[in-house]
């Protein structure tokens, strides 16, 4: 009746922005991501605790803000007639700051709750459960390069390439540790309703997905770099043209992008991507990791660097 799970955040290379069904939390477009190795969220779900109501502890402190979404996720897994649950969570990276902490959190709590209740469910079903709480969480159930397909009434997730088959590195430049001012779900709805670029974003996503899928299959870093950066900038163009504008970047974000451009001009195998936040993720070839790390470390405004390879999907671990 107690179980612990670990999940890593994932970084979208071909991103989704917008929902076609807000109530079911179904994304408007498909997406392709990489699951990280060194960044992780650990979740303990205790079904036998003495708490009178659901309780969520995050990094040692109760977190009432995230609790309603965690409770709804637990209802989805365990049923609404369940007893109160204690959830104890810890992450080794900033949360709610554009580093996909919700993806790892809901993937981990879904796996832990299922294990605590001794339920045997296929991974695809777990991904759909996690995805109802956080769209990107479905991808964190799988490792390496992951595609979330969005062509039917539900979502399907599959691995495109194992982490060990194309071991790229990701250098994460953290330029702000505080929570972002507007959550992704709210921002997506603002963009859907007000951005003049939103419909074009939806219409062109299939081309980017096909291009990235082919690049991953061929291990073509240059092709993946080109389509990933283009897709990232298109998404942020949709956000910037919303009313009010959804602008998460800061001056250090821009400086990191310029640094990546300088590295590319010097022949480094690296490209940037940025989710709904100010953090820059520099995806690079293993042999260029040291140069990318050194360059971003010296960039003004970078508060912290995290270097990681690609990792596995969410999984149960020994109880802590």
Q: Read off the pLDDT of residues 207-217 as tens digits, 9 standing for 90 and up.
A: 999 999 999 99
Percent above pLDDT 90 for the chain: 83
Tell whether the torsion through CA atoms of 192, 193, 197 and 200 is positive or negative: positive
Average pLDDT, the chain: 93
Residue (of 138, 294, 285, 306) closest to 224 by Cα position: 285
Give the mean pLDDT of 56-84.
93
Give the mean pLDDT of 205-233.
98
Residue (of 152, 106, 132) closest to 23 by Cα position: 132
Q: Read off the pLDDT of residues 298-313 as tens digits, 9 standing for 90 and up.
A: 999 999 999 999 999 9
Look at 88-92, 150-154, 229-233, 254-258 and tell me which has the smallest mean pLDDT.
Answer: 150-154
pLDDT at 19 over 80: yes
Distance CA 273, CA 271 (A): 7
What is the enclosing helix (H) or strand (E) of 26?
strand 26-27
Q: What is the C-alpha end-to-end distance of the chain, expressed in Å?
A: 14
Is 228 in contact with 14 (CB distance < 8 Å)? yes
pLDDT of residue 29: 94
Q: Read off the pLDDT of residues 138-188 as tens digits, 9 standing for 90 and up.
A: 999 999 999 998 766 677 899 999 999 999 999 999 999 888 889 888 999
């Amino acid at each position: 009746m107690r179980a612990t799970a670990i999940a890593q955040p994932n970084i979208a290379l071909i991103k989704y922005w917008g929902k076609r069904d807000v109530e079911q939390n179904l994304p408007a477009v498909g997406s392709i991501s990489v699951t990280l190795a060194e960044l992780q969220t650990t979740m303990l779900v205790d079904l036998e605790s003495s708490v009178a109501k659901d309780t969520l502890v995050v990094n040692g402190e109760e977190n009432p803000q995230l609790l309603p979404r965690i409770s709804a996720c637990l209802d989805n897994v365990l049923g609404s007639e369940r007893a109160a649950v204690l959830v104890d969570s810890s992450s080794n990276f900033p949360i709610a700051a554009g580093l996909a902490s919700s993806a790892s959190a809901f993937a981990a709590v879904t796996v832990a709750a299922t294990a605590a209740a001794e339920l045997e469910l296929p991974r695809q079903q777990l991904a759909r459960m996690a995805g109802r709480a956080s769209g990107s969480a479905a991808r964190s159930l799988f490792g390496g390069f992951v595609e979330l397909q969005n062509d039917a009434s539900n979502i399907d997730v599959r691995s495109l390439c194992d982490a060990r088959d194309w071991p790229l590195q990701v250098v994460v430049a953290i330029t702000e540790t505080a929570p972002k001012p507007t959550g992704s779900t709210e921002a997506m709805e603002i963009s859907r309703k007000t951005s003049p670029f939103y419909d074009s974003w939806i219409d062109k996503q299939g081309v980017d997905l096909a291009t990235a899928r082919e690049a991953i299959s061929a291990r073509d870093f240059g092709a993946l770099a080109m389509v990933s950066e283009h897709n990232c900038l298109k998404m942020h163009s949709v956000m910037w043209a919303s009313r009010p504008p959804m602008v998460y970047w800061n001056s250090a974000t821009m400086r990191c992008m310029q640094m990546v451009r300088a590295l590319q001009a010097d022949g480094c195998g690296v490209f940037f991507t940025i989710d709904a936040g100010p953090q820059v993720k520099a995806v690079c070839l293993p042999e260029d990791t040291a140069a990318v790390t050194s360059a971003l470390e010296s960039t003004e405004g970078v508060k912290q660097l995290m270097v990681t390879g690609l990792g596995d999907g969410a999984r149960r671990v020994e109880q802590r």
